[in-house]
Structure formats: C-alpha cells, structure tokens
Structure 1
Amino acid sequence: MDSIQALLSALDVFARAPDKVSLENANSWLQDFQHSPEAWSTCNVLLLSPDAPIAAKLFAAQTFRSKVTYDLHQVNAANLLPLRDTLITALDKYHVGPKAIITQLCLALAGLALQLPAWDNAVQTMIETFGPNPATVPVLLQFLKVLPEELTSNTRIPVTDDEYRDRSAKILTVNSRQVIDLLSMYNNASGVTPAVQNQIFECLRTWTVAGEVDIKTFCKSLLFDGVFEALASDELFDSAVDVICELIHETQEVDDNMSVIELIVPRIIALRPKLEECKDDPEKIRGFARIFAEAGETYRLLIIRHTETFYPIVEAIGQCSAYPDLDIVPITFPFWMRLAQTIGKKASVEPLLLEAYKALTNVIIRHLHFPPDATTMTGQEADNFRSFRHVMGDTLKDCCLVLGADACLLNAYGLVTVALSRGGSVSWQEIEAPLFAMRSMGAEVDPSDDNTVPKIMDLIPSLPSHQRVRYAALLIISRYTEWVNRHPDYISFQLQYISAGFEDSNDDVNAAAGQALKHLCQDCKQHLTDFLPTLHAFLKTTGRKLAQDDRLQVYEAIAYVISAMPMEKAAESLKTFSLDILSQIHTAAGQVTPLSKQELKDIGHGLENLEVMLHVVGPFGDHLPAACQNSCREAWSVFDVFIAKFAFDYDTTERTTRVLRPALALFGRSALPIAPALLSRMVSSFEATGFSAFLWIAGKIVGRFGRESEPTLQRSFQELFERSTNKLVSLLQSTAARDIPDVLEDYVQMLLQLEDVVPDVFYQSSAFPLAFRASMATLGLIHSDITFAALDLFRNIVTHDCFSSVPPNPKNGLYAAAIKAVLEKEGFDLVGYLLSGLVGDFPEDSTSCVISILRSLSTLLPSQILVWLPVVLQQLPATSAPNEAKQQFLVDVSNAVDTRQFDKVKYAVLSFNRASRKARDRRRVAPLNE
C-alpha cells in the first residue's frame, strides 16, 4: 500500500499546476518506479482496483507496455503465461474504455507475443476471447490494428533478427488470411456500426502496410468492394481513402500485379466524376486527390506504355492540380515530377502527355497569381504563399523537362505580352505571375539560346513600373546572368535597370537589385571591368542611401569584377575601394570626441563591406603587386590604433577581427613582419576585455605563421599562450564556464593550433598545466562544437608521437615528461569528465574520441586508472549508467589493463555506452506520455 500511495502522490503532481522542480522530481520518481521489479504487482493492483483514479490506471497500463518492452527478464519464466492472462483479463475489464488504456494493454500484449514463443497462437487466442461478443469486438480490432505496427516499428523490443523473423511469421503471416476473412465478416455483418467499420479499415491498413495482405486474394473478397463503397459515406471516407492508397501502393511491382491492377484501375477511373460532384467539399477533394496521385505515381510506367487506357487518371490528377485550394494542389506534385523524370528518358512523348503538361503549365501560372487584394493576407499567410510559389516553380521545371524550356518560356512570355496589349485594364498580378514563372524556369535555359531569351530580355523595358513587377523583372535578370555572359550586349541596359531598382522606395526592390548586380558581376565579370569607375561613382552617391544588406551585395559584386582583372589592375582597384573604408576607420581612431552608436554602426558596416571584398578577391600570392607593397603595414597602422581605442565595443571588435582574417590571406607571407605586433595587440586586448574574438584571430595567426622559425614570432606565440591562459584562468575564477562558451571555444581552438604547429611552446611552457585544467571545463558544457574541439585537444595530447615516434625526436622526452606530469595530477578529473559526458550530454559522434583518450590513459597510467575508475563510476547517476553496466565496465577495463590488451578498452567503452544509451532512451519519454 505504501508504494501505491507514493505512486498516486507522484501522479497527483501532474494533475495540478506544478512548478518545474516538482514536475521533474515526480517524473524522475515515476521513471525509477517503472524500472523496478515491484512495478509489475503494483500496477496489476491499480488496474484491477475500482477506486483508483483513471490517471493511475492509465499509468499502470503504460507501465505494463514499457516493462514488456524493457524488463521482461524480471519475470520468472513460469510466470510469463500468467502475465499474459493478467493482461487479457485487464483488457476484458476495460473493454468499454478508456481507449487509451485499451491501446496500452494491446501494445503490451503485442510485445509479449513477440517475446513469448510459448504463446504460439496469439492471434487465435485474442479472436476466441474477444471475437464472439459484439461488445468486445472493438477490443479485438484494436489489438489487431496495433499488432503489426508494434511488431514492425518497436525496435526496442530485445529479440534477435532470427527470433524476429520466426515470431513475426508465426504471428502475422500465418494468420493474415484468417484476419482478412474475419474483417470481411465483421464488415458485412448486419447492424455493423460506422465506428466498427472504421476500426476494420484501420486494421486492414496496418496489415497492408506491414506487407501481410495478399493483394490478389484480397481483391476477390467482399471487403475489397466494401472499401470502395465506403467512399460514399462521410463517416468512413477518410479511413477508406487510407486503405485504397495502401492497396495501390502494394501493387507497385506492376508486372507482377497486372491482374489486380485490372480490378483496381476501373474503380479509380470511376471516381473521376466525384471531383465535380464534391467540388465544394475540400476534404473530399483532398481524399480523391490522394487516391488519384497514388495511382498515378504507382502506375506511371503503365501510363507511358498504355497512355490512352490510363490517361483518365492523368486528367483527374490535372483536375486536382487545378483545384483552387492550395493546400490540396501539392498532393499532385510528386506525380508530375516522377512522370516527367520517366518521360525525360524516352525518345518521344505521347501527344496526350504533352497536352497534360501544357495544361499544367497554365494551371501553375494561374496559381502563382497573388490575390486581387494582397493586403487581406496575414503576414504568415503571405510568407506561406511566397514559400509555396517556389514549390510550384519546381513543378514548372518538371514541365520544362517534358515540353522543353523554350516552349514553357514562350508560353509565359505570351501571357505577359497578351496582358500588356490590354493596356490600363491589366492587373499587376497578370504580369507578375508569368514573370515569376520565367524566373523559376531560368535554371533550365540554354546559355547559348538566341531565340527565346532575347524576347524576354527585350520585354523588360516595356514592363510597367509597379514595384512587384520591377521586383520580379530584377530577379529574372539575376537568374539569367549566365545567358547574359554569352550575350554581353545586354549588360549596359541591365545595369541601368538595376541602378533604377536601387533608387526605388521599396526595400524588396532594392534587395532584388542588389542580388541582380551580384550575380551579373559574378557571371559576367570579364565584361564589366570597364564599368568599375561607374560602380565606384554609384557607391559614392546612391550607394550611401542603400540599406546595409543591399550595399553589401554591391561591394560583393564589385569584388567579383576586381577578381577578374589582371593582378596589377586588381590591386589598384581594390586599393581604391578599400581606402574609402580605411579613411573612415582612420578618422574614427583619431577623433577626440566619443563616437555615437550610429557612427560606430556605420564603421561596422564599412568593415563588413571590406571583409566581403577581401574574401572574394582572395590572396594575390607570395609576390604582391606594386600597388600593395606597403599596404599591409599601412593598413595595420590604422587598425592597430583603431583596435586600441575601440576594443571594449563588442560588435566593433567582432567586425574588426573578422576583416583581419581575409586580410592575412590576401597578404600571405608579406604580413609576417607585422605578425608579432598583431599578436601583441590581440593578447593585450583579450586581457583588457575578455572578448573571444581576439583569441579567435590569434589562433588563425598561429595556424598561418606558426611554422616560421623567426625568433621574435616564436616569443610572441609563447607570450600569447601564457598571457591568454592566465586571463582565462582568472575569468573562470569569477565566471561560470557556461556563461563564456564562446571564449572557451576560441581558446581551445587556439590551443589546437599551438599544439600542432608550435609544440615547443605548448608543452614546455609553464602555462601547459593551467591550459590543460582550463580546457577540461569545456567538457561540462552542452555544446557540440566545444566538446569536439576539447576532445580533439586531449586526444592529441595523450596520443602524442612522443610516446611512439620512430626515429625518436630529441624533444620527445621533454614532451612526454610534461604530459605525464599533467595527467598524473589531472587524470582523475579528466576520466570523470569523459565518462560523465559519455553517459550524459556528449554528442553521439564523440565516442571514438573518448575511446582513444581512455585507451591511451590506460596505456600510460595503467595502475592509476584502475584506482580512479571505481570512484568515478560511483559518482555517475544510475539513471544514465545502470549499476550492472558500471560493474561490467570496470571488469572489462581491469581485464584489458591486467592482460596488457589495451585495444579491449574500446569494446568496454562501446558496451558501456550502449547500456547507457538504452537507459537514457527509456527515460527520455515521460511516463504519462509514453
């Protein structure tokens, strides 16, 4: 009684409005209870108790299902059949409901049937127990419905593959004919209710999905007729649609199922008039669309082989595609895509199918129309419609595959010209929709086309100046730039049209102009070098008025043009555009009065523009052009003063350091003379601010110049390592690691560079022990990138070549001594972090790293690890590391160490991880929701 009262108290927490702590405590208690052997008897008492609350009875039923899945080993073999009888008795007791309890008990019985060979006639037992009484037939149907679902989908049931094949065949396959006959009998029984018929169809669907229904035999049964007849019933319609779709899907091996297909297809074609009869009922149309689309996809090869016979299905799908409800239309899209892909492999196309895709093209363009009053749409509706337009655009590409891009584009072109010919009476939607279609089909255009695309390009100047139309036209230019590269005569006009787009008052039009300019410059850069002065002038005038996102695209576009120029000219052009930004930074650095937020923001935008230019132009190589010979020192002198002044502004720091990375790539080894000064500024700025960006760029500098033997630079690396480590240690004394994840990540990434390229600095510095301990703090964070970086670092340390290199490195002894000294001091905590993370929050892919580290620790410090492990394992929570798994892991590692077979540590970790994951997966679902 005490356990029942405790259980009821825990469940009562969920009935109130609990605080988070109470909810978590109650949930944890219930999960622990579910794992216990006592749960079997306690839940049995609750299920049979008339006074227990419904929530407790439901929990008891859920617990039986869970324990049958996970804990059947807790039941003595002699008690397994009595357990089955207990569950059947409880199911009979609850045959009137609640349905949730019936479902959980049915799932428990299904799982038990799979694991209990002694119950060799599970289906027959349930039919004999619940089938004769009309009041309990719904219980039988629920069991038969969940049986194949549970057997095929619950992979947590502990049976081997061979056991599964044997048991599922005896439970499902052997009984499938009897089950179909039973369902047919119930469906044709006098007085059968729609509720029972729905259960019959749901049961039929699950057995069909499981592949246990012989379609040829089924199609000769009365139930086959009954399913199609049920489409006339509002109450049975949805479940009948589900069954019909599954039946069609089961005949996808068309050559083997022609006799069945000959029975199914006439019934499907006979449904076509329903599309007109039910046109005002979207839910009915949705169901019919599913049936027709499933048939079209499944029989697409037959549609091509026997087009006239199967064409009514294509026509019906076309009607569904044309339906005005855009939630229903996409049901048909997979059919059109797969049929187009199949047709595309044929030498010729049936005229009927060509007509179908021509009609589809017009249908899709009609669907692309914005509503007459777009202001009636909510923000979410507008976003959804815009997203769906791109999906419809993909279907237009399918039309191009069948009809050819020229034909589809000319169709859309014709719609625009007809609309324009009507003058002022035309709506913008009639022009914008076919323009959008042209944009969607742009990827299918042949860049060498001289027939269709010129007509489209010549059309653009005559388009009305409506913002939506201008936006669509600009995006057409953006999509057709590869074609423009082959037809450069159009560039001058397009630059004018794009420039006008930047002057529009609409932000979307500005953004489209930026995108068009970027793609034009990217694809046509060889033709645009003469336009560079014009673009520079544009930036100094109109460019100042643009939003930053649009201005950034202009800078990116210009950089593409610069990247196509000869090196000397590219250097001069890059310097011209960069000086505009550098002068802004220089002025800010020398300004006496504090900058406003807006002024700092403007400088940040300038830095962002410079970054994208440097990134696109890329490195010039080791030999800089004359225009850049002194640029590195000059630019750094500006940045050095600027960083010193504005280091405490986080956003400015982020932007400044991001520019330094492509700048270092641009200058290459020419930046070597300033590297010590750059590192000094980064480390002093990190000491002053604690901002991670300074460590991030410092790590990049180490990676780029670490292998240079210049003494001053090597001293700079040591200074960086020691001062940044001292600062980080100081930060961790006053700030929790979880509050500075960005700093820890960039610090560890910097250490990875130091360890790799300057091991002398890393291993022989007094900062090494401090860095090792500080890095362990990252293993307690729930952050995949940091975890992987830290594990890589520790793996590099404990598997260093100093322990195995041949021929030996003279410094190996020094490295090995430093590593072992740190491991002897920090090894216990490291093992604790590793195992805690392994059974906790480490990413799944990190297991191999953990294995490597633990294997090396076992090799380097075998006696110590055997002392550390029992204490560490004791501290791990049993909820994620079961006691049996801990004991087995300790035994396995001890055997590996004692026999000097250290490779066996891998298998010990893998087994421990599997046991832990199984325990965590079980607890991941709250008991009340399982």
Structure 2
Amino acid sequence: MKAVAEAVHVLNHDSQSCNRVAANQWLVQFQQTNAAWEVATSILTSSHSSSSSSSYLLDFELQFFAAQILKRKIQNEGYNLHYDSKEALLNALLLAAKKFSLGPSQILTQICLALSALIIRAVEHKQPIEKLFSSLHNLQNQDNGDVAVLEMLTVLPEEVETQNSDCNISSTLRYHYGQELLSHTPTVLCFLLHHSEQKIDDDMQLQSRNRKILRCLLSWVRAGCFSEIPPLSIPTHPLLSLVFNSLQVSSSFDLAIEVLIELVTRYEGLPQVLLYRVQFLKELLLLPALSRGDEIVIGGVASLLSEIGQAAPALIVEASTEALMLAEALLSCVAFPSEDWEIADSTLQFWYVSFLKLFLRFFTFIIIICKQWFLLVFFSC
C-alpha cells in the first residue's frame, strides 16, 4: 500500500516529468496484478483519516485512485472472480460507500460505479439487482446511508444501459437486467419522493440535495421508469412538482429541463399535457430571462418548447391558443440577440416539422378541393 501511495504522489506532484512517467507506468502495471484487488480494497475500507489539509489531499488522491482501480478491474475481470471473492468485494464496496457517504463525492461515485459493475457481472445470481436492492435497504437504515443509496440509484441505470455494449452479456440477459431494474421503479420513486420531502434549512444543502434527486430521476426516466404509468398521469406525479419548482432555481434548472425533455421524447401523450404549461414557462421563466439576457434559461426553454412541438406537430397546426403561444415563445427565443446560433439552431427541427405538417395538410386540402371540382364538372357535363 505504501508503494502505491508513493507512486500516486509522484504521479500527481513530482516536478520531473520522467518521474511522473515512470510512476504512471508502474501504476498501470500494478493495476493488472491480483494484488491490486486487496490493496485497493484496503485503501477504501481503512479507518485511517488525516487531519491536515496536505494529508487530506494525498488521501483523496490515493482513495480516488483505488476506487478507479476496482471499477476498472471489475469491468475487465469481474466475470472471472470466484463467487466468494465477489461476495467479499461486494461487502467491502458497501462498507466503502457508507464510509464516503458524506464525501468526497467523486470517490463515492467511483465506488457506486464499481458496485454497479460488480452486480451486473454477478451472473451466478438469478436476480443480482434484487440482491443489490436488499443490500441498499440495509445501507439506507444506517446513518447517512441514504446519501450513498441515492448515488447508487443514480449510476445503476446508467451501468445497466452501458452493459448493452458488453459482448459477454447476451441479449436475453440484457433484457432481463432491464426488466429487473424497472421492477424496482415504485420503490425508487418512493425513495426519491421521501428524500425530497425532508426539511433542510440550509439553502446550499437544499439545492445540492435537489440536484442529486434530479440526477437520479433523470437516470431512471432514461431507463423507462414511467413506462407503466399512463402518460396523462405523469404530470400529476408528486416528483414532477419538484421538477417544475427546480426550473425556477438556477442551480437545478439544467437538470429539470433535461428531465422534462426526456419525458416529452419518450412518452406519447405527454406533450399534449405539457402544452398547457407553456404559459407557465413563458411568464415565469422565458420573459424574465429575456429581460435580463439569461442565455442559459432562454436556450433551455427553447429546447423544451421545441421538443414539445416536435412531439406533437398535429397539435401545433391546430393553432390552439397554447400552440400559438408556444410558437410565439419560440420566435422570442430565436429573436434574442445571441453571439452564436445555438438557440436558433435548437428550434430548426420544430419549424421544419411544423412546416411539413402544414404543407401536407394544405396539400391534402387542395386535393380534396380539386376532387370535388372534378366531380362537379364531370356530373355537370
């Protein structure tokens, strides 16, 4: 362990490039050894802690490196581990997740990625994700364990998605993992809702907590967590209140927009419901952003409105009050004097789809008129 710590220190802090190169080569070779499993695990589960800032930095670098080692080795060699080794590693990673639940967050994320990778490769378990959720339930009941659980729930759907490119996993097993994951949707949504309702007096902590919840929700939306819920009932889901409220907070605006865009593009019928929220988006977000020149908010609202319009072009050509308001809002976004064309570019597909839909409707109307005229002339003769 001492040799690894020294090599990491040289790699990150030595002034001589030749020393840094040598340290990097040594660490790369070390990662490929069997000893790396035990050393990395020991680094992450050790109870040692430093009080000085310099020692804290060195510990962070070493612990982050150890977490990355385990993640990579699991991804590359996880299938070859024996059952007992996997069980021991699972318990060690859960212990490490508990240890780093209050930070540093970068290390916790790497540990959770390693845990997710390990579970996906635990093919000897008929329901590996079920086993993980059982472990997470125990972790949640410990002090600050819910923080680690939240991060774990965030990266797990992403890991399940990335395993689609793993040639070691059959398509049948991939489908099984996806279905097993989604079977826990009610539990996850309840956990997120409960977490969002906890009172926090400190504004910074509250914003940080809400961002983490939105990140987790985004991962599960991308995994298809609302696929079994009727689209018309999605906007009334309690978590959507958090999403809409987060639109009005600068620190969480981007994630809230991403969640809504994912929902719009994935669930048919939802754009029609969100079309009635255009006035809210315009008055509470877009108009104030235009007045203060906030390109981030303008661009985000433009992207969302454009996706709503593209997902429901038939509603747009009906020229309802909401549809006209959406088009007007998008024109306001396009007219905003931005240094680049990113905002305008994000709306191009909307205008193209809308024009195409209008053209087809007009063309159909012309055909009907011509047909009626032809029949009238024919029978007149």
Smaller-chain TM-score bracket: 0.7 to 0.9
The residue that corresponds to 2:189 in the other structure is: 180
> How much does 1:156 deviate?
4.3
- 8 Å contact from structure 2 (residues 333, 344) kept in 1: yes
Change (3 A) 1:73 1:153: closer
In the alignment, the residues of structure 2 paired with residue 120 and residue 156 of structure 1 have an alpha-carbon distance, to the nearest angstrom, of 17
Change (3 A) 1:131 1:349: farther
The residue that corresponds to 1:269 in the other structure is: 279
The residue that corresponds to 1:30 in the other structure is: 27
The residue that corresponds to 1:334 in the other structure is: 349
Q: How many residues align?
A: 340
Which of 20, 45, 69 aligns to 1:63? It is: 69
Mark the runs of 5 or more structure 2 residues left unpaired by the alignment. 50-57, 366-381
The residue that corresponds to 2:325 in the other structure is: 312
The residue that corresponds to 1:80 in the other structure is: 86
1:735-750 aligned within 5 A: none
In the alignment, the residues of structure 1 paired with residue 23 and residue 14 of structure 2 have an alpha-carbon distance, to the nearest angstrom, of 13
> What SS does the corresponding residue of 1:95 show, helix, strand or coil?
coil
- Offset from partner CA, 1:244-288 (integer Å, 9 cap, x none): 11111112xxxxx33x44432212332112322222133222222
1:621-770 aligned within 5 A: none
> How much does 1:243 deviate?
1.2
In the alignment, the residues of structure 2 paired with residue 134 and residue 220 of structure 1 have an alpha-carbon distance, to the nearest angstrom, of 32
> How much does 1:40 deviate?
0.7
Corresponding letter in the other structure for 1:186: H
- 8 Å contact from structure 1 (residues 48, 90) kept in 2: yes
Corresponding letter in the other structure for 1:227: V
- 8 Å contact from structure 1 (residues 70, 158) kept in 2: no
In the alignment, the residues of structure 1 paired with residue 271 and residue 90 of structure 2 have an alpha-carbon distance, to the nearest angstrom, of 42
> How much does 1:197 deviate?
1.2
Change (3 A) 1:73 1:209: closer
> How much does 1:63 deviate?
0.8
- 8 Å contact from structure 2 (residues 119, 132) kept in 1: no
- 8 Å contact from structure 1 (residues 69, 158) kept in 2: no
The residue that corresponds to 1:110 in the other structure is: 116
Which of 207, 216, 222 aligns to 2:220? It is: 207
In the alignment, the residues of structure 1 paired with residue 95 and residue 222 of structure 2 have an alpha-carbon distance, to the nearest angstrom, of 30
> What SS does the corresponding residue of 2:362 show, helix, strand or coil?
coil
In the alignment, the residues of structure 2 paired with residue 10 and residue 158 of structure 1 have an alpha-carbon distance, to the nearest angstrom, of 33
Corresponding letter in the other structure for 1:28: Q
In the alignment, the residues of structure 1 paired with residue 226 and residue 135 of structure 2 have an alpha-carbon distance, to the nearest angstrom, of 19
Change (3 A) 1:191 1:88: same
- 8 Å contact from structure 1 (residues 293, 335) kept in 2: yes
> How much does 1:71 deviate?
1.0
The residue that corresponds to 1:456 in the other structure is: none
- Offset from partner CA, 1:776-811 (integer Å, 9 cap, x none): xxxxxxxxxxxxxxxxxxxxxxxxxxxxxxxxxxxx
Corresponding letter in the other structure for 1:56: L
In the alignment, the residues of structure 2 paired with residue 235 and residue 87 of structure 1 have an alpha-carbon distance, to the nearest angstrom, of 31
The residue that corresponds to 2:258 in the other structure is: 242
The residue that corresponds to 2:309 in the other structure is: 296
- Offset from partner CA, 1:666-704 (integer Å, 9 cap, x none): xxxxxxxxxxxxxxxxxxxxxxxxxxxxxxxxxxxxxxx
In the alignment, the residues of structure 2 paired with residue 241 and residue 210 of structure 1 have an alpha-carbon distance, to the nearest angstrom, of 17
- 8 Å contact from structure 1 (residues 320, 329) kept in 2: yes
In the alignment, is residue 347 of structure 1 matched against residue 375 of structure 2? no
TM-score, normalized by length of structure 2?
0.81
In the alignment, the residues of structure 2 paired with residue 349 and residue 198 of structure 1 have an alpha-carbon distance, to the nearest angstrom, of 48
The residue that corresponds to 1:12 in the other structure is: 9
> What SS does the corresponding residue of 2:198 show, helix, strand or coil?
coil
In the alignment, the residues of structure 1 paired with residue 314 and residue 18 of structure 2 have an alpha-carbon distance, to the nearest angstrom, of 59
The residue that corresponds to 2:168 in the other structure is: 158
> How much does 1:312 deviate?
1.6
In the alignment, the residues of structure 1 paired with residue 214 and residue 208 of structure 2 have an alpha-carbon distance, to the nearest angstrom, of 10
CA RMSD in angstroms, aligned pairs only: 2.6
In the alignment, the residues of structure 2 paired with residue 209 and residue 10 of structure 1 have an alpha-carbon distance, to the nearest angstrom, of 40
- 8 Å contact from structure 1 (residues 297, 339) kept in 2: yes
- Offset from partner CA, 1:122-146 (integer Å, 9 cap, x none): 4523541343457332221111111
Corresponding letter in the other structure for 1:31: V
Corresponding letter in the other structure for 2:8: L
> What SS does the corresponding residue of 2:251 show, helix, strand or coil?
coil
- 8 Å contact from structure 1 (residues 70, 156) kept in 2: no
In the alignment, the residues of structure 1 paired with residue 173 and residue 41 of structure 2 have an alpha-carbon distance, to the nearest angstrom, of 29
- 8 Å contact from structure 1 (residues 35, 71) kept in 2: no
Corresponding letter in the other structure for 2:289: C
The residue that corresponds to 2:368 in the other structure is: none
Larger radius of gyration: 1
1:364-443 aligned within 5 A: none
Mark the runs of 5 or more structure 1 residues left unpaired by the alignment. 252-256, 351-930
The residue that corresponds to 2:148 in the other structure is: 139
> How much does 1:86 deviate?
0.8
The residue that corresponds to 2:238 in the other structure is: 222
Change (3 A) 1:306 1:145: same
Corresponding letter in the other structure for 2:223: A
In the alignment, the residues of structure 2 paired with residue 311 and residue 55 of structure 1 have an alpha-carbon distance, to the nearest angstrom, of 55
> How much does 1:62 deviate?
0.5
In the alignment, the residues of structure 1 paired with residue 361 and residue 272 of structure 2 have an alpha-carbon distance, to the nearest angstrom, of 25
- 8 Å contact from structure 2 (residues 271, 311) kept in 1: no
- 8 Å contact from structure 1 (residues 10, 30) kept in 2: yes
> How much does 1:317 deviate?
0.9
Which structure has more RCO (C-alpha within 8 Å, separation ≥ 6)? 2
- 8 Å contact from structure 1 (residues 343, 349) kept in 2: no
Change (3 A) 1:305 1:318: same
- Offset from partner CA, 1:164-213 (integer Å, 9 cap, x none): 2212321x111112211221222223338221111111111111112233
- 8 Å contact from structure 2 (residues 257, 300) kept in 1: yes
1:406-805 aligned within 5 A: none
Corresponding letter in the other structure for 1:161: S
In the alignment, the residues of structure 2 paired with residue 158 and residue 38 of structure 1 have an alpha-carbon distance, to the nearest angstrom, of 25
- Offset from partner CA, 1:437-485 (integer Å, 9 cap, x none): xxxxxxxxxxxxxxxxxxxxxxxxxxxxxxxxxxxxxxxxxxxxxxxxx
Change (3 A) 1:11 1:157: farther
- 8 Å contact from structure 2 (residues 214, 256) kept in 1: yes
In the alignment, the residues of structure 2 paired with residue 83 and residue 132 of structure 1 have an alpha-carbon distance, to the nearest angstrom, of 21
In the alignment, the residues of structure 2 paired with residue 203 and residue 163 of structure 1 have an alpha-carbon distance, to the nearest angstrom, of 24
In the alignment, the residues of structure 1 paired with residue 15 and residue 173 of structure 2 have an alpha-carbon distance, to the nearest angstrom, of 45
The residue that corresponds to 1:476 in the other structure is: none
- Offset from partner CA, 1:307-359 (integer Å, 9 cap, x none): 55522211111111111124433322232233334444443499xxxxxxxxx
> How much does 1:222 deviate?
1.0
More displaced, 40-49 or 125-134?
A: 125-134
TM-score, normalized by length of structure 1?
0.35
In the alignment, the residues of structure 2 paired with residue 326 and residue 341 of structure 1 have an alpha-carbon distance, to the nearest angstrom, of 29
